[in-house]
Chain A
Amino acid sequence: MRTILITLLILALATPASARRRSRGIATGTKPQLNMSFTGMGIDTGGDALLDAGNITRTRGPNRRMTARSTVTTHTFGIRVERAGGENSGSVTVRAFLEASDPRWSIRIDGKTIGTMPLVIDPTAPIGQVRMHTMELDIPTAMPEGTVFNSVVWEITTN
């Protein structure tokens, strides 16, 4: 019995928390698997999505505004969190961070400028519902023309 307990203890300690977190779609323990999906992004493929902002010019538009120093393009999208098996109760904390640092321009989600460190976007997103968010691409006028690219990594963790 003692040997079994020690083995269990070693196994529990052997898996780092970060490794568990990075395992996409794998829920630890006995809770059903979590699934995050995006809506309103244009190309949504399950837990990943592509947002093509198209041609970004300094002109007024329905999703675009201009400040003295930058052009801000706004996109509204939704995040749905569900549990496999339909046990849609409780809530998750939603965090986001940039995959790569690009100081030339910034990305705001719900008004919060995100960087390469995870930032809490929604501390209590209900499981089973779509929660709407806004993403702003803030591009200074001094930035030279060309292709802009980055990736926002999203993490959800049950509360």
Chain B
Amino acid sequence: MKRFLLSLVAVLSATSASAATDNGTVSLTGTLESSLTIAITANIGASSGSGTSTVSVGLGTIAKSGAVPIAVVRTVQTTDWKVGALIGIVVSKANLNSSSYTLTAQLASSTPAGITWKLNDVALSHLSPITLTSAGVYAESLMPLWEVVIANSAAPTSINNTIHFTATSN
């Protein structure tokens, strides 16, 4: 019996000696912020950045007649002519309790005389934004028609400009 107890104590002692331990704690903290993101799809002419929030569209040289860039439709009217294309806009939300959004658009700079930029047949201005929708559905594509209307009287010039889209949660 004494030999058994000795053996048992020896085993227990050996187990205890080999099990050194330690512990520690890493506390994690952070502030989760809500956000909206805009993705613009515009595979028009020579475009780049389609699917991101910054898209560049190059139409090259356009005229009342002749070739038109890819995905662009030209319409010739009595006093003016226009080129247009559909663009896709998807607004997504993250960590936000909101069921809809308002989307506005505004030009970055004034347009030359006789040239008008439009979205869904509403003229754009650099002075104030227009509202494209006040009940946008998140993650669904909005497809406004973008047009540049050129009066027959307009002098040949660059039509470069930028549309700033702003999405605001409702």
A residues at B contact (CB < 8 Å): 1-2, 5-6, 8-9, 12-13, 17, 20-38, 41, 46-59, 71, 73, 81, 83, 99, 107, 135, 137, 139, 141-158
Contacts and interface: CB of A to CB of B under 8 A. Distances in A.
Given A12-B9, A153-B25, A148 B19 contact: no
B28 A29 contact: no
B29 A52 contact: yes
Contacts of B28: 51, 53, 107, 137, 148-152
A106 B97 CA distance: 20
Contact of A157 (B21, B25, B27, B95): B21
B61 interface: no
A53 B29 contact: yes
A73 B12 CA distance: 45
Given A12-B12, A28-B17, A38 B32 contact: no
B24 A49 contact: yes
Given A1-B2, A9-B9, A154 B24 contact: yes
B17 A29 contact: yes
B30 A155 contact: no
A17 B18 CA distance: 12
B19 A29 contact: yes
B2 A158 contact: no
B169 to A, nearest CB: 11
A23 B92 CA distance: 49
A59 B92 CA distance: 12
Contact of A151 (B16, B21, B27): B27
A106 B70 CA distance: 46
Interface in B1-20: 2, 5-6, 8-9, 12-13, 16-20
How big is chain B's contact interface, by range?
A: 20 to 34
B26 A55 contact: no
A128 B151 CA distance: 78
Q: Which of B9, B32, B35, B37 has the most CB of A within 10 A?
A: B32
Contacts of B24: 24, 36-38, 46-49, 153-154
A2 B19 contact: no
Nearest to B30: A53
Contacts of A50: 26-27, 29
Contact of A145 (B20, B27, B92, B96): B96
Contacts of B30: 52-56, 73, 137, 147-149
B157 interface: no
Contact of A9 (B12, B23, B26, B97): B12
Nearest to A77: B26
A5 B28 CA distance: 48
A51 B29 CA distance: 6
A25 B22 CA distance: 5
A94 B30 CA distance: 25
B145 interface: no
A154 B2 CA distance: 41
